[in-house]
Amino acid sequence: MKEKQEIIRLRNHISYIFEQAWHWIVLFACVLFSSEDSLKLGMELIQKGNIIQGLLAMGGALFVMLLVCAWYLNRWYRTTITIQDGTITSAKVTLNTRINTMSISNISNINLEQNIFEMLVGTYKLKIDTNSLSTADTTDLEILLKKKEAEEVKQLLLAMLKEQEDGEPDGEKIEEAPTDTGEFDIMQGECDIVYSNKDILKNALITMSIIEFAGALGMVVLAAGTAAVAFREEKEILAILGTLLLQFVLASSLIADFIRKFLQDFHFRAKRHGDKIYVYCGLFKKKSYVVPVDKINAVTLKYTFIGRICKRAYVKVINIGGQGEEADGMKLLLTDTYGELGRKLNILLPEFELPQIERMIKPPKRLLGIYRVYAVFSAAVAFVACECTVALTGEGGIGGMTVLAGLLAGAAVGALYLYICYMKYRASGIMYTDKTFILSRGIFTKNIQTIPYARIQFIHTKQGPLMRRLGLLEGNVSILASALSQTQYMGIFDRGDFKRLEEKFRETY
Amino acid sequence: MEYQKLSKKARGCMLVNECILAFVCTVIIGVIWHFLQDAQIPFNINFIWILAVAIWVLSLAAPFYRYERYRYRFSEEDIDVREGFLFLHRDIVPIERLHKVALESGPVDRIFGLSKVIVTTAGGDVTIRFLEEEAARKIVDRLKVRINQYAVDRRENEGEAGNYQA
């Protein structure tokens, strides 16, 4: 095989220096231009031919700025990625030399990302995520390349990955692999799932944080109220507009999340191609990712608070690659009704089925008894804390009133705790199918996870004295995922339900 | 395979560990008591020593309960560990899914000739504590053989096995 025998050495695109150092450059430029006198003197000296003196007069800021640029230039020059003999090596030979080598078979995701600056320059960020959780921090790679080069490298890695997974002999498979159908070509063809702008707007609204939604709604109501009062009092039009503008600015900062989500998911489309799912989205920051189906460890159906009211959820898949916002999974489908999600998931990922929620096993009613005991305990703690606070702050002179305040605080905390527990109880559920374990959990939001038994790494259960008395168990299952999704909490269920999970789990090994 | 109990030495090791912890807590309580002696607080500061007594009672009782409840089982397929004092914990780890096996021993463990085996899967790790050094070493050796065997079997079956169907 030609490509495999070749040593491919890559270096970040030169614009990487600016991308890494721009905030320092801006900072030092601000410092430099803020001291007008030294700048004027320096410029005069340079004009007179005394360049060194002129630069010195401009002060240390310029020197530090140049030093920072030199530092990043050195780092850029000394950072390379080498692909050779089925391995990928990242080398950073700076003050702290770090050389990491990993097998291409350990790659779980290869994604392309582009922000506004990269769109202007015409580069793409190639992100390579590895399978290993314990070494993910040191072996996950990122490299900035020109669009064509990024696409070529991605296709080469995908082909090599496929070859290693298929166990094909050296030499033939890569040329046979679909390297001709680049990811952009795949996405430019007809996609299996395409969302309209209306769908994306709806998705941004439903996935919006409830606090921000309530804040924005409050601001709109307040603005309408202010305007009505101002008109009634016949205030000056400028004063009214000023107040409205201020409230509009506050409201828009609250709906920033909504706008960000809309831009992030703009033109969201997905396609199943062989054993991989290709997803592409974004307006300013374009993002494309490939999810190998055999690396999916769980599928999550996510209901936000608003989503639960509207009966709409979205789908994420959990594999090891996610970072930042994707730490709890990579988005596969935007918000839709349950039936529509099932239809779309059947196109993209027929290996997984949406669970029949109505068949889920609910936690036993006696669990509510435990919650009531905990609520009484938390109310007592709140009462004692309230009394101590009053005593310590020296406000203890109001007699029965402090006891009443303590009782009220205790009752409020107890009631809130009980309400949260009840919501948790309502969202909780588990289900067993032949090959997958399904669990549902949440308080105001709800997540329904589908995990193949074969993907469970280990099971952990816990039982407190009260649970022991009532025959209950609390547990979680561990899967290969980022730290945020690694432990999947099951909730508290009957001991027998855990026994069944244990039996199903044992069948897989 | 039946569940196994720990050796008697484990109880001593647990007791020493708990006593060290209780001692540290007592020192912290003593420092708090010293600084709050003259402060105006709604209750008598000497009551704080009740907390210290409770900690010592629990620390002295816990090792006996933990020792009685501690059970582990290394079968051909999986590792099963049950332990706890007030809260009982249980872990079931298939050997097939192990990535790494480590043997560790702290200073107190070494005094009692004990070690702990830490098994790492792709989803986190599980520790089996208070094992006798010799037994722990044998377990690690056995696990290593099993892990290697699984790796060889997996490689051989790779061509045959298709993707799982959920």
List Cβ<8 Å contacts ≥24 apart for A114-118. A114/A282, A114/A285, A114/A286, A114/A287, A115/A284, A115/A285, A116/A284, A116/A285, A117/A15, A117/A18, A117/A19, A118/A15, A118/A19, A118/A144
User: Where residue B162 falls among pLDDT bands split at 50, 70, 90?
Assistant: very low
pLDDT at residue A425 in the model = 94
Q: Do B89 and A461 touch (CB under 8 A)?
A: yes
pTM of the model: 0.72
Q: Which of A167, A351, A396 sits opposite B165 (nearest CB)?
A: A351
Q: Which residues of B touch A351 (CB under 8 A)?
A: 163-166
**Helix or strand or coil: residue A95?**
coil
CB contact under 8 A, B166 and A465: no
Strand pairing partners for A450?
A299, A438
For residue A320, the distance in angstroms to the closest alpha carbon of chain B comes to 10
Contact A59, A28 (CB under 8 A): no
Nearest to A407 by CA among A428, A443, A383, A390: A383
Return the higher-pLDDT residue of A121 and B16. Answer: B16
A117 & A43 share domain: yes
pLDDT digits (tens, 9 = 90+) for B63-122: 999 999 999 998 888 999 999 999 999 999 999 888 888 888 889 999 999 999 999 888
pLDDT at A486: 86
**Fold of the domain spanning B73-156:** PH-domain like (2.30.29)
Q: Examine the domain organization and report whether A194 and A276 are in the same domain.
A: yes
Residues of chain A with Cβ-Cβ distance to B123 below 8 Å are 133, 456-458, 478-481, 486-487
Residue A277, in any domain of the structure:
yes
- The answer on A149 and A48 residing in a single domain is yes
Cβ distance B93 to A461 less than 8 Å, yes or no, reads: no
Q: Nearest-CA distance from A277 to chain B in Å?
A: 15
Q: Is B159 touching A (CB cutoff 8 A)?
A: yes
Domain C-terminal end among A421, A442, A468: A421
Chain B: residue whose CA lies nearest to A481: B123
| Shortest CA gap A106–chain B (Å) | 13
Q: A163 in a domain, yes or no? A: yes
Long-range contacts of B153-160 (CB under 8 A, 24+ apart): B158/A167, B159/A167
Complex ipTM over 0.90: no
- Listed in sequence order, the residues at least 6 apart from A162 whose beta carbon sits closer than 8 Å to its beta carbon are A173, A177
- Asked if the Cβ–Cβ distance from B166 to A167 is below 8 Å, we say no
Supply the pLDDT for residue A399.
56
Structural domain count of chain A: 4
Can you point out the beta strands (E) in A337-470?
429-432, 436-441, 446-452, 456-463
A446 in the same domain as A303: no
Is the pLDDT reported for residue B25 higher than 90?
yes
Cβ within 8 Å, pair B164-A351: yes
Claim to verify: residue A85 and residue A150 sit in the same structural domain: yes
User: How many angstroms away from the CA of A299 is the closest CA of chain B?
Assistant: 11
* Residue A265: inside a domain: yes
The whole-angstrom distance between B111's CA and the closest CA on chain A is: 30
pLDDT at B46: 86
Q: From residue A252, how far is each of A225, A285, A484 by CA, in Å?
A: 18, 20, 30
Going residue by residue through chain A, which has 509 residues, state the pLDDT in tens, using 9 for 90 and above. 444 456 788 899 998 888 888 888 787 777 766 666 666 777 777 777 777 777 666 666 677 778 888 888 888 888 888 888 777 888 887 777 777 777 777 777 788 888 888 888 888 888 887 665 544 444 578 889 988 888 888 888 888 877 776 654 443 333 333 344 455 566 666 888 999 999 999 999 898 877 777 877 787 788 778 777 777 776 677 777 777 777 777 777 667 778 888 888 998 999 998 888 988 888 888 888 888 888 889 999 999 999 999 999 999 998 876 666 666 788 899 999 999 999 999 999 998 888 888 889 999 999 999 999 999 999 999 988 887 777 766 655 555 667 788 889 899 999 999 999 999 999 999 999 988 999 999 999 999 999 999 999 999 999 999 999 999 999 999 998 877 788 999 999 999 999 999 999 988 88
A244 lies in some domain: no
Last residue of a domain, one of A112, A147, A169: A169
In a domain, A239, yes or no: no
Structural domain contains residue A85:
yes
CB count in 10 Å sphere of residue A422: 14
Chain A stretch 296-355, residues whose beta carbon is closer than 8 A to a beta carbon of chain B: 351-353
B80 touching chain A per CB within 8 A: no
Residue A231 placed within a domain: no
Min Cα distance B72 → chain A (Å) is 14
A171: left (phi over 0), alpha (psi -120 to 50) or beta: left
**B156 in A contact zone (CB under 8 Å):** no
pLDDT for position A50: 74
Of A294, A457, A509, nearest to B124 by CB-CB distance is A457
Q: Is B91 on the interface with A (CB under 8 A)?
A: yes
Count of A-B CB contacts under 8 Å: 94
Residues spanned by the domain of A266: 180-208+255-354
In angstroms, what separates the C-alpha of A352 from chain B's closest C-alpha? 5
Q: Do the chains contact at B166 and A509, CB–CB below 8 Å?
A: no
* B:24-43 residues touching chain A, CB 8 A cutoff: 41-42
Write out the DSSP string of A444-500. Answer: SSEEEEEEEGGGEEEEEEEE-HHHHHHTEEEEEEEESS-HHHHEEEEEEEEHHHHHH
> What part of A 391-410 touches B (C-beta under 8 Å)?
391-392, 396
> Do A96 and A163 fall into the same domain?
yes
pLDDT of residue A377: 94
Task: State which amino acid sits at residue A35.
Answer: S
Q: Specify the CATH number for the domain of residue A489.
A: 2.30.29.30
Q: Test A480 with B123 for CB contact under 8 angstroms.
A: yes
Within 8 A of B87 by CB-CB distance, chain A residues are: 462-464
Set of chain A residues whose Cβ sits within 8 Å of the Cβ of B97: 457-458, 509
Kindly list the residues from chain A whose CB atom is less than 8 angstroms away from the CB atom of residue B91: 458-460
Please tell me which of the candidates B123, B159, B165 has its beta carbon nearest to residue A478.
B123
Q: Kindly identify which residue of chain A lies nearest to residue B41, measuring between CA atoms.
A: A392
Is A54 among the domain residues?
Answer: yes
Question: Are A28 and A161 found together in one domain?
Answer: yes
Please answer yes or no on whether A478 and B78 come within 8 Å at the CB atom.
no
